Structure 1
Amino acid sequence: MKTMRLGSSTLEVPVVAVGCMRINSLEKNEAERFVQTALEQGANFFDHADIYGGGACEEIFAEAIHMNAEIREKIILQSKCGIRKGMFDFSKEHILHSVDGILKRLKTDYLDTLLLHRPDALMEPEEVAEAFDILESSGKVRHFGVSNQNPMQIQLLKKYVKQPIVANQLQLSITNANMISNGINVNMENDSAINRDGSVLDFCRLNDITIQPWSPFQYGFFEGVFLGNEKFPELNQKIDEIAAKYEVTNTTIAIAWLLRHPAKMQPVIGTMNVDRLNECCRASEIHLTREEWYEIYRAAGNILP
């Protein structure tokens, strides 16, 4: 597995992150096999959130990997907080309480990275800054980031928070590529030109913030996967054609498409299938040509002006 620097930090991470949102769907032996396969592939970056399975996913992961001091030093743990039932909460009290719960469930003393989940409209950045300072000085969190935030929200946070924002987790896939499309269709009178995120892709590149695409196989908002879907015949034909050329699966090519972008993104895969996990990891070995990248982009219905 190839590696990369996470944002402006010195943390070296695999180019594919393993999302653990669905690990509670596995039996104990299946979960053990899954995390062991990830480690064998060099995919030792595991993404969590305190709301996944109501916290159960973190507990199941810790049991599956047989967490101990030796194992902990071989893996990179990221979790997220800020989502509560019916609201979002970036208060100092909630952040600190959430991290304590995360650490307890993961059976560890520290997180490599903590992300603030969906934006809190009532965020007081001074409180976030206090929470980050406490978490950093206590050694409970080593790096900080955000999820689903636009450039101005990050700028507001950065005005008060002294720690670098190293990652921004955002929805992105071949079929959900507006953050790329609006930069291609500048000043054009079409839907692709609509800037829905404040040029977050360019902002993150300019500020050394790693974009972590979530749901890299989904279209719409959890409407389904595009691979093998009859709604996307041209896209699947093109992906299958390129997959055959490289002697890999369509899953591998879908991830390779994201990795080909020079922003050096770190896709977060959510599969709990061992075979698909292996296919996703293999994407780090594939470097699509410029022509192939654009062929896939256009086959998904994305337009060039």
Structure 2
Amino acid sequence: MKTMKLGQSNLQVPVIAVGCMRMKDLNKKDAEHLVQTALEDGANFFDHADVYGRGASEEIFADAIHMNDTVREKIILQSKCGIRKVENTFDFSKEHILESVDGILKRLKTDYLDVLLLHRPDALVEPEEVAEAFDKLYSSGKVRNFGVSNHNPMQIQLLQKSLNQPIVANQLQLSITHATMISSGIHVNMLDETAVNRDGSILDFCRLNDITIQPWSPFQYGFFEGVFLDNEKFPELNAKINEIAAKYEVTNTTIALSWILRHPAHMQPVTGTMNPERLKDCIKAADIYLTRQEWYDIYRAAGNILP
């Protein structure tokens, strides 16, 4: 698979990351099949979070990949922390970050993470405290790179002011039907709803600061309302995607993901499928380069308007 540099890190990563949120729903045999399929096609970047199945997804993954030192050298592991699911709070305190990482490492059966992301913004964050946690994790070798998820530019700048390590990634929701970070930039200075800047120009900010955007839910519309592919709610979009898929002799899944990869921000989308064949279709997107016309045709077919 094609690779890219992750932000300002020294990591060379696949252009598509394998999301492991739903791995908690797999038995060992199916989990092994999925992981092996990913590795065979060069998708060795695995995205986790401590809240996925309350840690179960990480445990199942470690067993499925038969984690040992030899295996660990061949893969890239990313996980996230900062959400306390039971208490229904966000927590970027030094104590919680350090405790969370220890739990993640234990469940993944590894000594280190290649990347740690702070999951969702904590309104009570103390940047200096985050910096202390990151310094300790970095100096101990437990975490080699750091990033965030669902953060806007000012929140990133506030953190970065105190951090000694660069923020290398920002995981954000993006799909053809959830493309506000793109649309607001097209509708600059327009008197319409699409012109509303909901995220502080996060797309341009990340490009300016060499922060890799990792789109999550690349096939979803709304907030986990469902997928838009083969959905009767999106007839024009599916017709256009299917037309282009036929041209390239790939599936609609491949084209939907290639639409994100076509953007010059060099984003690294995170898949969520636990279906090995669909994962293969996702991976094929790395080899498709849509034309400018095709990209805009898909964009408009989703109901996005050009001013």
1:158 Cα deviation from its structure 2 partner: 0.6
Equivalent position SS for 1:111: coil
Please state if 1:179 is matched with 2:181: yes
Ranges in structure 1 where 5+ consecutive residues have no aligned partner: none
Q: How far 1:211 moved relative to its partner?
A: 0.2
- 1:228 to 2:230 alignment: yes
Cα-Cα RMSD: 0.4
Structure 2 matches for 1:66-85, cutoff 5 A? 66-85=66-85
**How big is the shift at 1:285?**
0.4
Aligned equivalent of 1:37: 37
User: How far 1:25 sits from its partner (Å)?
Assistant: 1.1
CA-to-partner distance for each residue in 1:183-237, whole Å, 9 max, x for gaps? 0000011111110000000000000000000000000000000000000000000
Alignment coverage as a number of residue pairs: 305
Q: Deviations over 1:28-74 (max 9, x none)?
A: 11100100000001000000000000101000000000000000000
Alignment map for 1:103-114 (pairs within 5 Å): 103-114=105-116
The corresponding residue for 1:141 is 143
Separation (CA, whole Å) in 2 of partners of 1:117 and 1:98: 12
Give the equivalent residue in structure 2 for 1:101. 103
Return the match for 2:246 from 244, 247, 250.
244
In 2, distance between residues paired with 1:231 and 1:91? 43
Deviations 1:135-188 (A, max 9, x none): 000000000000000000000001100100000000000000000000000001
| Offset, 1:24 | 1.3
**TM norm structure 2:** 0.99
In 1, distance between residues paired with 2:5 and 2:168?
10
Whole-Å separation in 2 of the counterparts to 1:102 and 1:28: 19
Report % sequence identity. 79
C-alpha distance in structure 1 between counterparts of 2:128 and 2:69, whole Å: 34
In structure 2, how many angstroms separate the alpha carbons of the residues matched to 1:141 and 1:213? 22
**In structure 1, what is the Cα distance between the partners aligned to 2:222 and 2:56?**
27
**Amino acid in structure 2 at the alignment position of 1:131:** A
Alpha-carbon separation, structure 2, partners of 1:245 and 1:193: 33
Query: Normalization by structure 1: what TM-score?
Result: 1.00
The residue number in structure 1 matching 2:291 is 289
Map 1:205-284 to 2 at 5 A. 205-284=207-286
Matches of 1:234 and 1:3, distance apart in 2: 33
User: Aligned residue for 1:132?
Assistant: 134
Shift of 1:26: 1.1
Structure 2 alignment gaps of length 5 or more: none
- Distance in 1 of aligned mates of 2:26 and 2:211: 33
Q: How does 1:21-36 map to 2 (within 5 A)?
A: 21-36=21-36
Equivalent residue letter for 2:142: K
Give the distance between the partners of 1:68 and 1:237, measured in 2 at CA: 46
Q: Name which of 174, 191, 194 aligns with 2:193.
A: 191
Moved over 6 A (4+): none
